[in-house]
Amino acid sequence: MEPLKQYLADNDLKKAVFARRVGMSRGFLGDLLTGRRTPGLGLAKRISDATNGAVPMSVWIECSHGATHERPSHGVQGISPKEVNA
């Protein structure tokens, strides 16, 4: 994920510090940086906010093809389409 790598380098930020700042593990950050995973909306927003928009939420949509997303953290998991459309 080039914009985030660039932001970390430009601001001389250590991965562990940035990961803690936005509420994710250093390992998950590593997966984001290599493109193995993409963040959910909440984490993408926290990254955008923490970088003052230098890494906007939209970059994750552009790079998400074929990557694994983080698991939802607020009860979205397990809802059937029937329940959503009710």
What percent of the chain stands above pLDDT 90?
66
Q: Which fold has domain 2-70?
A: 434 Repressor (Amino-terminal Domain) (1.10.260)
Structure confidence at residue 74 (pLDDT): 41
Residue 72 has pLDDT above 70, yes or no: no
Per residue in 10-51, pLDDT tens? 999 999 999 999 999 999 999 999 999 999 999 999 999 999
Task: Say if CB 40 and CB 69 are below 8 A apart.
Answer: yes
How much is the pLDDT for 34?
93
**pLDDT at res. 28:** 96
Q: Is 28 helix (H, G, I), strand (E, B) or coil?
A: helix
Q: Which residues, in sequence order, are CB contacts of 48 under 8 Å at separation 6+?
A: 55, 56, 57
Judge contact between 63 and 4, C-beta under 8 A. no
